[in-house]
Structure 1
Amino acid sequence: MLYTIVVCDHIHQNGLKLLQTNSQINYVYAADIDKTALLDVIKDADVCITRSSTDVDTKFLDAAKKLKAVVRAGVGVDNVDLNECSKRGVIAMNVPTANTIAAVELTMAHMLSCARKFPYAHNQLKNDRIWKREDWYGTELYGKKLGVIGFGNIGSRVGIRSKAFGMDVITYDPYINPSKATDVGVTYTKNFDDILACDIITIHTPKNSETTNMIDADKIAKMKDGVVLINCARGGLYNEEALVEGLKSGKIAMAGIDVFSKEPATNHPILDLPNVTVTAHLGANTLESQEKIAIQAAENAIEAALGASYPNALNLPIDETKIPSFVKPYLELTQKMAYLLSQTDKSAIKSIKIEASGDIADYLDSIETFATVGGLKLSLAEQINYINALFVAKERDIEVSSTKTANTSGYKNKLTIKLTTQNGVYSVSGTIFDEEVQRIVEINGFSLDIEPSGHMILFSNSDVPGVIGEVGKLLGDNNINIADFRLGRNKSGALAVIVVDEEVNSDIIAKLAQLKAARSVAYVNV
């Protein structure tokens, strides 16, 4: 039987060769046709390979009636509608590690270019034919303090290479075991201000609600005068308006930028500034990287077409024949509950433990996977998926376990997740009503009943009069509308779960934490 794989965008020739020479694959090359014509070509596709030029959206999926999987040849999946893929049972996969070295080396190139102003010195001699050595006194990397935000595959390698330049390297990453940094001679800090005090700062995090605008005007104001900022990760991790203002004022001496919030960024105001080095999202643009990406994408597509495996799957299609219908909402609830807990204490996770009672306890293997994805989603974003979740947990020394317990709760089925971090143990329990209605019924020992959805403030306090009024007034004074308010009480105090209509910034959370009765305050978005 032949399986059809359509290549929608340009990839390296060596990846195409794998498809062309496989006797079980009907290879269709469609990278050079317009996107409207592509919709007709993909109607018989079993698997498609895309890059950033093709949007895998509702229109695309409507046309690809037979599609089993889509492979994004690269890391980012901004152009793939993962929710729509999941609804249709289409597996979405990416190639997350093939461009690691390329991105690391581009970061080092920007760092060196900022230190020595190579692009400007080059332009003066090459294009203007002016020889003025006195214009180009740079600085050395040797002896400088480098702050690395995010110490994953790329950030850790940047740190190691920077150590070879004689730099003093410090990293901030609350989601790793500190030994990952200290074992390679890098200082680990839990205090973000330590990063802001560095001479050079480079960021290597996924882009999510926590990291978007992570470096803003307030953070820049705390930095050293003459700091150098590097971003070869994702556009928008640095607030771009604040970045431009900092460069104009001289607070930021130089910036090396490869990524922008909106691309192509041919009219971005940063391009008018004299103290930047810029590239057009070239993090993966090496011949070696492109070859690796193409080969891995082709291999993944072949595996998916044959149904053998789904490497780096980012979603999990629902197989009606293997999972009873009542299980599916519990899997989604599991992931949400673990994600909620991970936001209450943003530090390295030591263990994820699941307790299940009722018929749902027969599906603990699947539940473990969903709990792990939810627990690590905040720190790893698209790097964590249903295929690699348990492997990644083991790699990070995170113990994942599950237990079937006696059903004494009064609920037909009940799930409890216990998350142990460096700071303590946190728990949440939930169930499903009327087959699809998701409910959290307990958080950290406090009984309550709330839907796990939206912007939520978890406010723990001593059980004294006037607290609800103080909280309501503070939120009202800041134009935050309360959509739902649920209160749990026990002998130790009270826990309020406050659902609000708008996002809540860190200043408001800090003000809530300063209320006299407050014990802890966390803001989560489920």
Structure 2
Amino acid sequence: MYRIVVCDHIHQKGLDMLSSQSDIAMLNLATLPKDELLKSLHNADVAITRSSTSVGEEFLANVPNLKAIVRAGVGVDNVDIDACSKQGIVVMNVPTANTIAAVELTMTHILSAIRNFPGANAQLKVERKWKREDWYGTELKGKRVGVIGFGNIGSRVGIRCKAFEAEVLAYDPYIHPSKAINAGASYVKDFDEILHCDIITIHTPKNAETKNMITAKEIAKMKDGVILINCARGGLYNEQDLYDGLVSGKIRWAGIDVFEKEPGTTCKLLDLPNVYVTPHIGANTLESQEEIAKQAAQAAMEAARGISYPNALNLPSNTAQIPAFVAQYTELTQKLGFLCSQLDKSVLNSLEITAQGEISKYVDSLETYAVVGVLKPSLDDKINYINAPFIAQDRGIKIQKTALEGSKTYKNLITLTARTNNGSISVSGTVFDDNIIRVSAINEFEVLIEPKGRMLLFKNTDVPGVIGSVGQILGKHQINIADFRLARNTKKEALAVILVDNMVSAEVLQELSGISACISLQMVVI
């Protein structure tokens, strides 16, 4: 049994996911005082935390068996990542679950600022004054909105501003210009162009490059009466310079959800009438909290089982030197390797990694993940991201990497071909927008299915009645089908990839194998 400890409160849906797994022992310790919590972590394989649990020296001294930590949210300020790395603990976060919540809060701040909504509301409700003449605002239509950081959140803010008929300018040196253009925005390389916008909203991580990205120097270049929004991270705008700009009137309004020091109850920005604030509630929707919990639970289960480490922050790839999209392909590559190893369990002789499209530039970054994936089922905890290349070398496994500029089928495509004593197995996959990972082919069969959960791979001669026979047997044994994908080849053969909600017993597998058209049957878990 894998032991997953929940250290802080998460949505019940995440707890339900964990408790429903036959191979997971979930311990919910969110209500314990922190000193008692630390005494209960000794046997944990994975811990799920939020901001109220500090993962530092004291925490790490109590987790000798910990493989991974999942921060159920975006920020990892409370996690000592370097110390975790030294102890061999993988740190993950959940960066996209609150995307829509953060986008909509940003739009709330933009609309509140241009229409002076909080001030009008307070005057009427608190002061009981009906003075419509005090509250002439402006319209978003026709305004120039500058979006700094055009990733998951920034791009969606841009799309929504376009729906209000605003002109959107995007500044992000780490994206391809086509992403902005496809969203209807203008891509700008010169940061000063953003500074000339009517409204500026920032959506970057906080690091050495982005801290104090907007100071008095940048504010001086802005239009008089500019509106600034920050629902990303405190400290991206220099708070003293922001304060001075608001007092002088250079900045007309500011909408702020995040502060350099939180809680931000003593920040002097709160004293100004032209600042609208919220207490870091970008992720505070019921929907996002549910999604955060579900994604955190899924990541914890995959890490405990050693399948993959979604959104890992301290794995071998240098994230400072590669685009963010590559991280999804490292996860995909490891899952493809894990799939290969279950489809053919004989001795592995060689592994070829083929990357097509833009991801081909980073094929070297994928090698470790591919090796961990294919060797994990046989070595379990004995293999990790540090020793994987050495184990492959000791076993005489030849690794070959091929980079191709384009793919005929997808923008980016990863193919792993494993050659064993039994022959070879080839699996391919891609990542769609919004980080949707899919297996796209198994050998010569084209499928499109999520690599997650329990899968039956049923290969058969392509004759009528097979699907019905498979469904009848599974139904008879109360095994629910979550997804069913069918593919054919030119040899009059078919492959059904069936996602099921329950483990399939050896007796049921034998019954399925007894179908006259069956060529082969395999059960895999990813």
TM-score range, shorter chain: 0.5 to 0.7
- The alpha carbon displacement at 1:315 in A equals 1.7
Structure 2 partner of 1:113: 112
Paired residues of 2:92 and 2:310 also in contact (CA < 8 A): yes
Paired residues of 1:203 and 1:233 also in contact (CA < 8 A): yes
1:350-499 counterparts in 2 under 5 A? 370=317, 373-376=319-322, 380=324, 384=327, 387-388=330-331, 399-401=361-363
Mapped to 2, the partners of 1:20 and 1:194 lie a distance apart of 52
Structure 2 partner of 1:162: 161
Q: Which structure's relative contact order is higher, taking Cα pairs within 8 Å and 6+ residues apart?
A: 1
Amino acid at match of 2:283: A
Paired residues of 1:46 and 1:66 also in contact (CA < 8 A): yes
Structure 2 partner of 1:364: none
1:126-145 counterparts in 2 under 5 A? 126-145=125-144
Structure 1 partner of 2:283: 284
- The alpha carbon displacement at 1:389 in A equals 9.5
- The alpha carbon displacement at 1:80 in A equals 1.2
- The alpha carbon displacement at 1:384 in A equals 4.8
Structure 2 partner of 1:8: 7
- The alpha carbon displacement at 1:62 in A equals 0.5
Mapped to 2, the partners of 1:81 and 1:386 lie a distance apart of 26
Mapped to 2, the partners of 1:171 and 1:313 lie a distance apart of 27
- The alpha carbon displacement at 1:129 in A equals 2.3
- The alpha carbon displacement at 1:388 in A equals 4.6
Mapped to 1, the partners of 2:263 and 2:332 lie a distance apart of 33
Structure 2 partner of 1:298: 297
Deviations 1:335-380 (A, max 9, x none): xxxxxxxxxxxxxxxxxxxxxxxxxxxxxxxxxx636x3422xx65
- The alpha carbon displacement at 1:401 in A equals 4.7
Mapped to 1, the partners of 2:332 and 2:308 lie a distance apart of 15
Mapped to 2, the partners of 1:396 and 1:234 lie a distance apart of 30
Structure 2 partner of 1:61: 60
Q: Give the secondary structure class of the aligned counterpart of 2:201.
A: strand
Q: Give the secondary structure class of the aligned counterpart of 1:399.
A: helix
Paired residues of 2:228 and 2:254 also in contact (CA < 8 A): yes
Deviations 1:172-215 (A, max 9, x none): 11111111111222111111111110000001111111110000
- The alpha carbon displacement at 1:306 in A equals 2.2
Mapped to 2, the partners of 1:258 and 1:394 lie a distance apart of 41
Q: Give the secondary structure class of the aligned counterpart of 2:311.
A: coil
Paired residues of 2:55 and 2:79 also in contact (CA < 8 A): yes
Deviations 1:230-264 (A, max 9, x none): 01111100011100111111110000011111111
Q: Give the secondary structure class of the aligned counterpart of 2:211.
A: coil
Paired residues of 1:8 and 1:29 also in contact (CA < 8 A): yes
Question: Would the alpha carbon gap of residues 55 and 182 (structure 1) be closer, same or farther in structure 2, given more than 3 Å must change?
Answer: same
Question: Would the alpha carbon gap of residues 69 and 401 (structure 1) be closer, same or farther in structure 2, given more than 3 Å must change?
Answer: closer
Mapped to 2, the partners of 1:98 and 1:152 lie a distance apart of 14
Amino acid at match of 2:361: E
Q: Which runs of 5+ in 2 are unaligned?
A: 335-354, 366-526
Q: Give the secondary structure class of the aligned counterpart of 1:400.
A: helix
- The alpha carbon displacement at 1:33 in A equals 2.0
- The alpha carbon displacement at 1:394 in A equals 7.3
Question: Would the alpha carbon gap of residues 237 and 384 (structure 1) be closer, same or farther in structure 2, given more than 3 Å must change?
Answer: farther
Whether 2:232 is the aligned partner of 1:233: answer yes
Q: Give the secondary structure class of the aligned counterpart of 2:362.
A: strand
Paired residues of 2:308 and 2:331 also in contact (CA < 8 A): no
Paired residues of 2:231 and 2:257 also in contact (CA < 8 A): yes
- The alpha carbon displacement at 1:126 in A equals 2.1
Amino acid at match of 1:171: A
Amino acid at match of 1:259: V
Deviations 1:109-136 (A, max 9, x none): 0000111111121122223222221111
Mapped to 2, the partners of 1:269 and 1:258 lie a distance apart of 14
Question: Would the alpha carbon gap of residues 271 and 89 (structure 1) be closer, same or farther in structure 2, given more than 3 Å must change?
Answer: same
Paired residues of 1:177 and 1:396 also in contact (CA < 8 A): no
Question: Would the alpha carbon gap of residues 306 and 398 (structure 1) be closer, same or farther in structure 2, given more than 3 Å must change?
Answer: closer
Question: Would the alpha carbon gap of residues 124 and 52 (structure 1) be closer, same or farther in structure 2, given more than 3 Å must change?
Answer: same
Paired residues of 2:75 and 2:93 also in contact (CA < 8 A): yes
Q: What is the TM-score normalised by the length of structure 2?
A: 0.63
Question: Would the alpha carbon gap of residues 23 and 262 (structure 1) be closer, same or farther in structure 2, given more than 3 Å must change?
Answer: same
Amino acid at match of 1:280: P
Mapped to 2, the partners of 1:184 and 1:108 lie a distance apart of 17
1:60-209 counterparts in 2 under 5 A? 60-209=59-208
Question: Would the alpha carbon gap of residues 264 and 386 (structure 1) be closer, same or farther in structure 2, given more than 3 Å must change?
Answer: farther
Q: Which runs of 5+ in 1 are unaligned?
A: 317-368, 404-526
Amino acid at match of 1:120: G
C-alpha RMSD of matched pairs (Å): 2.3
Amino acid at match of 1:370: S
Amino acid at match of 2:178: S
Mapped to 2, the partners of 1:117 and 1:98 lie a distance apart of 30
- The alpha carbon displacement at 1:399 in A equals 2.1
Mapped to 1, the partners of 2:320 and 2:191 lie a distance apart of 25
- The alpha carbon displacement at 1:274 in A equals 0.1
- The alpha carbon displacement at 1:307 in A equals 2.2
Paired residues of 1:313 and 1:387 also in contact (CA < 8 A): no
Question: Would the alpha carbon gap of residues 194 and 389 (structure 1) be closer, same or farther in structure 2, given more than 3 Å must change?
Answer: farther
Structure 1 partner of 2:244: 245
Question: Would the alpha carbon gap of residues 283 and 124 (structure 1) be closer, same or farther in structure 2, given more than 3 Å must change?
Answer: same
Structure 2 partner of 1:418: none
Question: Would the alpha carbon gap of residues 201 and 396 (structure 1) be closer, same or farther in structure 2, given more than 3 Å must change?
Answer: farther
Mapped to 1, the partners of 2:212 and 2:124 lie a distance apart of 37
Q: Percent identity?
A: 63
Mapped to 2, the partners of 1:106 and 1:398 lie a distance apart of 37
Amino acid at match of 2:210: T
